[in-house]
Amino acid sequence: MDSAGHPRGPAGRRAEGAAVGAAGHRYIWWNFAAITLDVSFWTAGSACVDVGAVLPVFVNTLTASKLVIAVLTALPSVGWTLPQLVGAARILHRPRKKRYLLTVAALGRTPMLALPVLLLLFPLPSKAVMLWTMVACYTTLFFTDGLIGAAWYDIIAKTIPPRLRGRFFGAMNVLGGFAAIGSGWLVKRVLASPSLAYPRQYGVLFACLCAGLFLSYLLLAMIREPEGEVMADEPQPLGAVLRHVPRIWHDNAPLRRLLAVSWLASLSTLAWPFYVLYGIQALGLAPEAGAVFIWAGAVGNMAGSAVWAWVNDRRGPRAVLVAACSLRAAPPAVALAVPLVLASLPSLRSAGTAQYLFALVFLFGGAATSGGMMGFTNYVLELAPERERPVYVGMGNTLNAPGLLAPVLGGWLISILSYQAVFALAVVAGVVSLVVGLRLPVAAVAKAHAPARPAPEVDIAPG
C-alpha cells in the first residue's frame, strides 16, 4: 500500500487516477472560465500586432528582407511547439504544474515591455536596433511560451473532461474572436490617427499587446489545479525523455499519420505573412485594411470554432481535422482569384470593395487554423495515457514544429519566384493535406492504448 491507501502497481495507479480525475472535475467550470479568459486576453493583445495583418507591414518599414519578415511571423507557432519536449522533461515529477507555468511565463512576457518603451519614448530608434530588439523579445516570449505548453495542456486535460473539450476549445476561440474584433477596431483607429506619427502608432499597438499579455497572466494565476499522476520522482534530463520518443513513435501509427497531416497542412501556410503585403502592393490597399483582415480572421475563427466544437463532441477530433484540411487551399486560392475578379469587373476596383474581397483570405484562414488547432490538440490528448501525457503533448508539438517553418520557406521562394507561384504551391499543399487526412484512423484511442509493445511500467530512470 502507498501513503494514500492505494495498492502499489497498475491497479493502484488506476485507483489513484480515478481519485485525481474526481478532484479535477471539481474545478471544471472555474478553469473553463479562467482559461478561456486567459486565451481571450492573449488573443486581444496579439491581434493588435497581428502576425498576418499588422506585423509584416511594420517589419517591412524596418527591412526589405522577406526572409526576416517570414522568420518573425513564424516565431509564434515555432516557438510554441519546438521547446515543448524540454518543458515536458521539467514537469514529469510535478503533481501540480501551475508554479512552473507562472514562473516561466513571467520570464517570457516581461521583456516585451521594451518594444512600446522604445517606440513611444524614443520615437526615432535605429531601424537595426528596433528590428533586433523585436527578434530578441519575440523569441523570448514564444520560446518560453513553448516551455509551458505541456504544463498548460496537462492542466486542461486534468480538469476538462473529453466530452467537454470541443465546447471548451470552441468557447475559447469564439471569445478570443470577439476580443480580436475589438482589437481590429483599435488597430484601424490607431493606424489612421493623424495625431500618431510613425512609429508612435506601432508603439501604442505594442503597448496594447503587453496589456493583453499581462491580463492573460493574471487569469493563469487564477487557475485551480488538482494533483495529478506523475511519471518520475525527480526532474528529468531531456535525454531521459527523448529515450521514450522512439517507442511512442513506433507504437502509435495514428500519431505518425496525424503529424503527416499537420506537416502538409502547415505547408499550405507558405504565404501567410505575405498576403497583406501582396494586397497593399498589387491591389493598392491601405495599411489600415489590416483591421478588416483582423476582423475577417476573427469571424472565421469564431464561426469555424462553433462548428468544430459541435463536430468534435459528436464525431471526434478526426472529423475536425479532415474538415479543417478541406479549407486549407481556400486562402491562397482566393488570393489568386481576387485580382482576376477585379480585372474582369472594374466596378469592384475601389479600395473599399477590394479589401473586403481580399478579406476572404483571412476569413477562410481563421476557420482552418482554429479547426487544425482544436483537432490536433484533442487527437493527441485522446491518444495519450495520463502518466505519459506531457511526453505525448511535448513530442507531438515538437515534431510538428518543422512544418510551422513553412512561412520562412515561403519568404525565400517569393524572393526567387513570385507571390503567385507561392500561392499556387500553397493550394497544392492544402489539397494534399486533405487527401492524407481522409486516411486518418477513426479509432485512434483504441489503437494507441493497445500498442504492439506495451509501455514499460517503471518510471523514467534519471539520466
For 48-79, how does the pLDDT look when each residue is reduced to its tens digit (9 = 90+)?
Answer: 998 888 899 899 989 888 888 888 888 888 88
Residues 6+ apart with CB under 8 A from 18: none
DSSP code of residue 347: G
The pLDDT of residue 424 is: 95
Architecture of domain 10-448: Up-down Bundle (1.20)
Q: How confident is the model at residue 15 (pLDDT cuts 50, 70, 90)?
A: very low
The pLDDT of residue 462 is: 37
Q: What pLDDT digit, counting tens, does each position of 433-463 carry?
A: 999 999 888 644 434 444 444 444 434 433 3
Tell me which residue has cell 479562467: 34
Pairwise CA distance, residues 37 & 222, whole Å: 11
Using a 10 angstrom Cβ sphere, with 0-12 exposed, 13-18 middle and 19 or more buried, the burial of residue 197 is exposed
More confident residue, 335 or 283: 335
Q: What pLDDT digit, counting tens, does each position of 288-332 carry?
A: 888 888 889 889 988 888 898 889 888 888 999 999 999 999 999
Residue 246's alpha-carbon distances to 150, 206, 360, 401, 403, in angstroms, are 19, 42, 42, 17, 20
Q: How confident is the model at residue 43 (pLDDT cuts 50, 70, 90)?
A: very high
Q: What percent of the chain has pLDDT over 70?
A: 88
Give the count of beta carbons closer than 10 Å to the beta carbon of residue 68: 18
Q: How confident is the model at residue 343 (pLDDT cuts 50, 70, 90)?
A: confident
Strands of 273-360, DSSP E: none
Four-point Cα dihedral 196, 201, 204, 210, nearest 10: 180
Q: What percent of the chain has pLDDT over 90?
A: 33
Once rounded to an integer, what is the mean pLDDT over residues 376-384? 86
3-state secondary structure at position 13? helix
Once rounded to an integer, what is the mean pLDDT over residues 404-418? 86
DSSP code of residue 441: -
The crossing angle, in degrees rounded to 10, of helices 127-147 and 98-109 is 180
Max mean pLDDT range (21-30, 32-41, 161-170, 345-354): 32-41
CA angle 187, 189, 191 (to 5 degrees): 65
Sketch the domain layout of the chain as residue ranges. Answer: 10-448
The pLDDT of residue 430 is: 93
Tell me the CA end-to-end span of the chain in Å, nearest whole number: 28
Q: How confident is the model at residue 393 (pLDDT cuts 50, 70, 90)?
A: confident
The pLDDT of residue 124 is: 67
Q: What pLDDT digit, counting tens, does each position of 191-245 carry?
A: 988 888 888 999 999 999 999 999 999 999 999 988 877 776 777 777 877 888 8
- 402 upstream amide cis, omega within 30 of 0: no
Answer for the pair 69, 411: CB distance below 8 angstroms, yes or no: yes
The pLDDT of residue 217 is: 97
In this predicted structure, the answer to whether residue 16 has a pLDDT above a threshold of 90 is no
Four-point Cα dihedral 11, 12, 18, 23, nearest 10: 180
The pLDDT of residue 458 is: 36
Give the residue from 91, 165, 426, 41 showing the smallest Cα distance to 418. 426
Q: Against a cut of 0.85, is the pTM above it?
A: no
